[in-house]
Amino acid sequence: MGKERDQNQTVRMSGHLRLFLSWPVYIGICFAIVCFGVLLVDCRAGVIMAGCLAVYMVVCFVMQIIVRQSIIRDMIEFSSNYSQVQRKLLYDLSVPYCLVDDTGKVMWLNKAMLEKTGKKRDYRKNISNIFPEITPNVFPQGEDPREVRISYNTRDYCIEIKRIDVQELGQGVRFIDTQHSGNFYALYLFDETDINAYIQKIKDERFVVGLVYIDNYEEALESIDDVRRSLFIGLVDKRVNKYFAAGAAIVRKLEKDKYLVVFRHKFLEKIMADKFSLIEEIKNVKIGNEMTITLSAGIGTGAGDYAKNYDIAKAAMDLALGRGGDQAVVKENDKISYYGGKSQQMEKNTRVKVRVKAHALRQILDSTETVLIMGHKIADIDSFGSAIGIYTICRKLGKRAHIVINDITVSVKPFLQRFVDKEEYPDDMFLVREEAPEYVDDKTAVIVVDVNKPHLTECPALLEKCKTIVVFDHHRQSSDSITNAVLSYVDPYASSAAEMITEMIQYVDENVKIRAFEADALYAGISIDTDGFNSKSGPRTFEAAAFLRRHGADVTRVRKMLRNDMNEYRAVAQAVSRAEVYKDAFAITTFDGEGLESPTIGGAKAANQLLDISGIKASFVVTAYNEQIYISARSIDEVNVQLVMERLGGGGHMSIAGAQLKGCTVEQAIHTIKQTLDAMVEEGDI
């Protein structure tokens, strides 16, 4: 009783309930005023009214002292019974539920939660002992609940966590004053195992469209005698069909060297896990063919219908071929994955594609008046030479042409000076980045050479301002290439952009005249990118060089202009001397370009020289320049350095590639290179 009395004393009336129990007092006061007025009018009536008022006041006193406490006790008993009913319902709720404090300590669990976790009703340990993922740092601090997905006892669950402010608990009960502060958290456990299983099943059953092309089918077939050709064709078909038969795929031959494949997404995950082993298997087809055949695949998925998946597959195939073939590209909406691409690209001897592209270029130029030509930032001689080649074409067709170039490197400077202050060339032949946009109008075309990434061009703003864009490049394509070009000729089989433009010159117009120092610039571009015709030099390379020689290119003159100065030569020698051989195959060093005009050029030369060391499969030279880290990567034939540089955000060729890093030191860059090489060796990409 004492405890109950103390409890009642701590409960004070407030709000509407207090007003409801106090209204008889207010009426009594009004009654007393009326009684006083009647007494002034008539004493006898006033006495009668006073007697009635006394009786009323006694009744009010009894109500306030005796009945008031009884009402409070009845209300507390009702609320207690009501809460017990709610607690019983919550305890028997089919959804697992528990209540924890702000430290994660379990305060209460319902029956379903006890059954799920196998705990007893008096369990009061931290919730993280049951679900390690649920810690105080994941508790919501606002009104919105938070969801956490976990796996528990081979089942998948979504835990919804809601915050309960203790101070708000008393706001609904207005006759109770709450003094406690803090938060409680309610946890609801929802089983999503079946839902996830159905989602995965739907994903597995989605159809995927694939295109499979044999890269060098015609070239390989020509090297086989007539008797074995049918056997060769049948064996290629068998390899392709057998590989996809494991996934119950539909394989249809579109042309002699092209296949259409349709299969479920579940099989795509399997072939991605084995990294498209068909790419390596197809190389083992040897029936008298001297040339190893290679295969490219473009896989499209993620769209809402089959037609769109087919379009995505074609885009993936274009990307695979643009990167040199011998690889698979999986494109799922905006996500792109690459597999293969380890072998050297096979040069195609046919010039049909060059002739078609040259004809298309002439048609585009016929409808333009002004042409802006630009290469990549920190232009090398290949970028400059190919820009000069395009300038020659525009001059022949009577178009006003301008070359956008900003940073003049040491290798480019002697060639550029031969065009400055000459009567044959206008003063505005060369423009800087800030001047170029002023020349853009409706009749302007922008031609990009030796680069296909927008952010690496000399003036990216031109690509947004001009509608007519043409791209000529020999680097393997990546996902962030220029996409709005009206003509894009990306040939990773070519040794250099200068080689591509030299071929274009021969087909755009038969009467194009090249001056001797223009031919020198193109010849120098080919020579530099082939390391003196020692790398990636095919029949087309020498044919292009012969054409330039016939038009006045002088080998001795070019060599003199490409010679190093003494400081750069010493810096290259120092970089080579302190090179570290990593994993007995990779040469890694730093190039100190302090005091040099073009440190990145020296870094590239050091990377080339490191390949002359026996046992070195690839070289990596790190150069700090303009608050950035430049990485030059080179290889001969065993390692695809483009794949290595792509992981660092760069790109290039199989044997010549590079990357730029920001916000790191030289030591951190070297550490990143080593980590990347370790990962690729472990994954089998090297």
Tens-place pLDDT, residues 374-421: 988 888 888 899 999 999 988 888 888 899 988 887 788 888 888 888
Considering only 244-258, 531-545, 569-583, which range has the smallest mean pLDDT?
531-545
Any idea which residue has 């956008």 for tokens?
404
Q: Which residues, 6 or more positions from 421, have their beta carbon under 8 angstroms from its beta carbon?
A: none
Give the residue-averaged pLDDT of 187-205: 83
Q: How confident is the model at residue 3 (pLDDT cuts 50, 70, 90)?
A: very low
Residues 120 and 167 in one domain: yes
* Alpha-carbon distance values, 633 to 54, 337, 618 (Å): 108, 22, 7
Q: How confident is the model at residue 621 (pLDDT cuts 50, 70, 90)?
A: very high
Residues 83 and 10 in one domain: yes
Residues 557 and 570 in one domain: no
Give the residue-averaged pLDDT of 249-254: 89
- For residue 398, what pLDDT is reported? 86
Distance CA 343, CA 655 (A): 10
Q: How confident is the model at residue 76 (pLDDT cuts 50, 70, 90)?
A: low
Q: Does position 461 have pLDDT exceeding 60, yes or no? A: yes
Asked if residue 346 is part of any domain, the answer here is: no
Asked if residue 345 is part of any domain, the answer here is: no
Q: pLDDT tens for residues 127-168?
A: 888 888 888 888 888 778 888 888 888 888 898 888 877 665
Classified as helix, coil or strand, 542 is helix
Asked if residue 452 is part of any domain, the answer here is: yes
- For residue 110, what pLDDT is reported? 84
What CATH number does residue 185 fall under?
3.30.450
**The total number of structural domains that make up the chain:** 5
Asked if residue 59 is part of any domain, the answer here is: yes
Give the residue-averaged pLDDT of 489-496: 81
Q: pLDDT tens for residues 13-29?
A: 555 566 666 677 777 77
Distance CA 634, CA 642 (A): 9
- For residue 601, what pLDDT is reported? 82
Q: What is the DSSP code (8-state) at residue 454?
A: G
- For residue 234, what pLDDT is reported? 86
Q: What is the mean pLDDT of the chain?
A: 81
Nearest to 450 by CA among 411, 410, 420, 494: 494
Residues 326 and 363 in one domain: no
Residues 534 and 665 in one domain: no
Q: Answer whether 666's CB lies under 8 Å from 629's CB.
A: yes
- For residue 386, what pLDDT is reported? 92
* pLDDT over 70 percentage in the chain: 88
What CATH number does residue 408 fall under?
3.90.1640.10
Q: pLDDT tens for residues 351-363?
A: 677 888 888 888 8
Q: pLDDT tens for residues 261-312?
A: 998 888 888 888 888 888 888 888 887 767 788 888 999 888 877 888 888 8
- For residue 294, what pLDDT is reported? 85
Considering only 59-73, 192-206, 436-450, which range has the smallest mean pLDDT?
59-73
Q: Does position 660 have pLDDT exceeding 50, yes or no? A: yes
**What does pTM read for this prediction?**
0.59
- For residue 10, what pLDDT is reported? 46
Would residue 91 be called left, alpha or beta, if left means φ above 0 and alpha means ψ between -120 and 50 degrees?
alpha
DSSP for 269-312, please give it.
HHHHHTT-THHHHGGG--SS-SSPP-EEEEEEE-SSSHHHHHHH
Q: Does position 324 have pLDDT exceeding 60, yes or no? A: yes
Asked if residue 131 is part of any domain, the answer here is: yes
Residues 37 and 87 in one domain: yes
- For residue 650, what pLDDT is reported? 82
378 phi, psi to nearest 5 deg: 50, 60
Q: Domain span at residue 375?
A: 352-561
Residues 397 and 519 in one domain: yes
Residues 106 and 64 in one domain: no
Asked if residue 347 is part of any domain, the answer here is: no
Give the residue-averaged pLDDT of 242-268: 88
Residues 570 and 557 in one domain: no
Q: How confident is the model at residue 364 (pLDDT cuts 50, 70, 90)?
A: confident
Q: Does position 667 have pLDDT exceeding 60, yes or no? A: yes
The domain boundary residue, chosen from 151, 174, 199 = 199
* pLDDT over 90 percentage in the chain: 4
Q: Does position 228 have pLDDT exceeding 90, yes or no? A: no
Q: How confident is the model at residue 259 (pLDDT cuts 50, 70, 90)?
A: very high
Classified as helix, coil or strand, 242 is helix
The domain boundary residue, chosen from 317, 340, 363 = 340
Asked if residue 621 is part of any domain, the answer here is: yes
Q: Answer whether 100's CB lies under 8 Å from 107's CB.
A: yes
Give the residue-averaged pLDDT of 609-634: 88
Give the residue-averaged pLDDT of 583-598: 84
- For residue 260, what pLDDT is reported? 92
Residues 576 and 662 in one domain: yes
The domain boundary residue, chosen from 340, 365, 393 = 340
- For residue 680, what pLDDT is reported? 86
Q: Which residues, 6 or more positions from 192, have their beta carbon under 8 angstroms from its beta carbon?
A: 149, 156, 157, 158
Residues 505 and 388 in one domain: yes
Considering only 48-52, 292-296, 437-441, which range has the smallest mean pLDDT?
48-52
Asked if residue 157 is part of any domain, the answer here is: yes
Q: Answer whether 247's CB lies under 8 Å from 271's CB.
A: yes
Residues 539 and 608 in one domain: no
For the CA atoms of 497, 498, 500, 504, what is the dihedral angle to 10 degrees?
Answer: 130
Distance CA 314, CA 320 (A): 10
Q: Which residues, 6 or more positions from 534, have their beta carbon under 8 angstroms from its beta carbon?
A: none
What CATH number does residue 275 fall under?
3.30.70.270
Q: Which residues, 6 or more positions from 545, have their beta carbon under 8 angstroms from its beta carbon?
A: 523, 526, 533, 553
Q: pLDDT tens for residues 52-75?
A: 878 877 777 776 666 666 666 666
